[in-house]
Chain A
Amino acid sequence: MMPSPRSRPKPRPNVAGPATRQWQFDAIGTRWSVEALQVVPPAVWARARRAVAGRIEQFDRDYSRFRADSLVSAMARTAGRYQLPPDAQPLFDLYRELYDLTAGAVTPLVGGLLAAAGYDAAYSLRPGTLTPPPAWPGTLRYEFPHLTLARPVSLDLGAAGKGYLVDLVAGVLRTHGITAYCVDAGGDMAHQGALEADPLAVGLEHPADAGQVIGVAQLRNQSLCGSAGNRRAWAGLNHIIDPHTRTSPTHLRAVWAVADTTLLADALTTALYFVPPPILAAHYVFEYALVYEDFSLEHSADFPAAFFTTPAISAL
């Protein structure tokens, strides 16, 4: 049984420290928790909440494939040269790099493929004919702040967009003087603790049983993102589809990445489905953990978590 979001463990009671504030809401198709890990006056908290809501709304209006009035929906209708939003550079820079590193497996051009698979605005979840996404070269020319489309294309920024929005929301909190926080969008989160505060204990969900965890990460002033196919799954597919095979990868059941930004951690959870970790480790600083189809575990040496496993396999 999948527990409802509300049955998730509540934040640890703050024994010695000041009262914290937590705000939960639904946005961009997932459940959010924005928590201040410090004292925040009510008026400041109210202003910060309004600003966060506005920031998310702006992001959705720019990048959501699921709303007709968004920038990317306009791109899906009309080719040409577009001015990107001011915040677009880190997002598109990373997509461009990962496109090359994963031989096109991580691509923003996957929107049409996801929609054809049934992952569309109406969540029709009925796969139609799946055709490979167009190649980036020849379709997109990216020179920030401009993106030029040779023809109308449906962009999907889901591989990294949510993580990036977590970073942007954290930035909003900081501008309101909230410097100790946890911003969690459905399990993808950024943590910034107060000085000498304990790390955040984050359970790593069992990919086959949402009522269990397979380990506990200790997150301190970093971001943690996870990906697994057990929730957004339909008709043998899930939210990750390999553009080359037009199937969802099945060799991994769950992937986690820890990095300094939620943007990077989120994007790497997708990239790790497609390329061995060392290829990514040559370019980015991150830790990773993978649970394979047979529930075997692989993780980088410094992944900040204690895992629950069968006795260690004999080593060389």
Chain B
Amino acid sequence: MNLPTEEKRTPSRLLSGKPHIISLYYIVNKHVTLRDVAVDTPKPRNNQKLAAVFGLVVIVAAIGAGVAFLAPKSDGQVIGGATSPTPTATADATPTAATTSAAYKDGTYTANGSYDSPGGLETVHLSVTLVSGLVSDSNATTTGNNPTGRLYQGKFLGGYKGLVVGRNVDSIKLSRVSGSSLTSGGFNDALAKIKTQAKA
């Protein structure tokens, strides 16, 4: 990564290329690197579980392994990670596909990740509850008790605001709307044509 040097960043640990706190947060949110992590760091202990309930274990394994995998090597704060998938609810034994979030079975999953914080070795215990393939709840606790570590973890969890819920545009007084950029005729016409041709 062609990123600025560490000295330019404040606070440096949060702003390194793959900050571990940010990475943890992304993992809870099923960041795209999840599957990379699961594929790239297969642990013998997890292999059977990966084969059995791949969709489920992707999350759990990634939470534990991701701490080690995604953290910047230069910082060296990652000591190791351990996973302990404990689904409290079990759906059918055959996941449909591991490529969509719908493949993750409902249940509560936990993982522990240890890392070297400014205050010493700390362990983060994460739990994620899935309902209908979506994160319905998450929690994290830490063994660390130094102010700096708590600060980082506070930032990490502070950013997570639950799941968005839509309200009808008509029910709210608005001056404007912002989202994906509106398209004018050309793009829509072309897309409609492509779709028609694809069905033919």
Which residues on A are within 8 Å of B, measured CB to CB?
3, 5, 8-9, 11-12, 26, 29-31, 33, 100-101, 103-104, 122-126, 162, 182, 184-189, 200-217, 224-232, 234-235, 239, 249-251, 254, 256, 276-279, 282-283, 291-301, 307-316
**10 residue pairs, one from A and one from B, having the closest CB atoms:** A205-B179, A212-B166, A123-B190, A228-B180, A251-B32, A186-B182, A186-B181, A206-B166, A214-B164, A187-B178
Taking CB atoms, residues of chain B closer than 8 Å to A184 are: 176
State whether A316 touches B141 (Cβ < 8 A).
yes
State whether A310 touches B165 (Cβ < 8 A).
yes
Beyond A124-B190, A212-B169, whether A227 also contacts B181 by CB under 8 A is yes
Q: Report how many residues on chain B are interfacial, defined by Cβ distance under 8 Å.
A: 68
* Among candidates A226, A239, A249, A310, residue contacting B178 with C-beta atoms closer than 8 Å: A226
Taking CB atoms, residues of chain B closer than 8 Å to A30 are: 181-184
* Among candidates A3, A249, A292, A314, residue contacting B139 with C-beta atoms closer than 8 Å: A314
User: In the complex, what residue of chain A is closest to B183 when comparing beta carbons?
Assistant: A231
Taking CB atoms, residues of chain A closer than 8 Å to B139 are: 313-314
**Once bound together, how far apart are the Cα atoms of A200 and B177, in whole Å?**
10
State whether A12 touches B161 (Cβ < 8 A).
no
User: In the complex, what residue of chain B is closest to A184 when comparing beta carbons?
Assistant: B176
Beyond A104-B2, A213-B172, A316-B157, whether A293 also contacts B101 by CB under 8 A is yes
**Once bound together, how far apart are the Cα atoms of A19 and B157, in whole Å?**
46
Question: 1/0 contact trace for B185-200 toward A, CB 8 Å?
Answer: 1110111001000000
Shortest CB distance A162–B (Å): 7
State whether B184 touches A203 (Cβ < 8 A).
no
Among B2, B160, B178, B184, residue most surrounded by chain A Cβ atoms (within 10 Å): B178
Taking CB atoms, residues of chain B closer than 8 Å to A33 are: 176
Shortest CB distance B23–A (Å): 8
Interchain Cβ contacts under 8 Å between A and B, 17 examples: A8-B176, A9-B170, A202-B177, A205-B177, A206-B164, A208-B166, A231-B181, A232-B187, A251-B29, A251-B31, A277-B22, A283-B4, A295-B164, A298-B29, A298-B161, A299-B159, A315-B157
**Once bound together, how far apart are the Cα atoms of A203 and B138, in whole Å?**
28
Q: A256-B178, A308-B164 are in contact. List 10 more A-B contacts (CB 8 A).
A: A33-B176, A188-B181, A205-B179, A215-B164, A254-B180, A279-B9, A296-B29, A309-B165, A313-B160, A316-B140
State whether A225 touches B138 (Cβ < 8 A).
no
**In the assembled complex, B45 has its CB within 8 A of some CB on chain A:** no
**Once bound together, how far apart are the Cα atoms of A231 and B177, in whole Å?**
14
* Among candidates B14, B157, B175, residue contacting A12 with C-beta atoms closer than 8 Å: B175
User: In the complex, what residue of chain B is closest to A103 when comparing beta carbons?
Assistant: B1
Taking CB atoms, residues of chain B closer than 8 Å to A31 are: 182, 184
Shortest CB distance A180–B (Å): 13
State whether B162 touches A203 (Cβ < 8 A).
no
* Among candidates A212, A226, A239, A294, residue contacting B167 with C-beta atoms closer than 8 Å: A212
* Among candidates A227, A279, A298, residue contacting B3 with C-beta atoms closer than 8 Å: A279
Beyond A314-B137, A316-B141, whether A203 also contacts B32 by CB under 8 A is no
User: In the complex, what residue of chain A is closest to B129 when comparing beta carbons?
Assistant: A313
**In the assembled complex, B174 has its CB within 8 A of some CB on chain A:** yes
Shortest CB distance B200–A (Å): 15
**Once bound together, how far apart are the Cα atoms of A30 and B66, in whole Å?**
40
**Once bound together, how far apart are the Cα atoms of A122 and B9, in whole Å?**
44
**In the assembled complex, B168 has its CB within 8 A of some CB on chain A:** yes
Beyond A12-B173, A249-B32, whether A309 also contacts B162 by CB under 8 A is yes
State whether B178 touches A202 (Cβ < 8 A).
yes
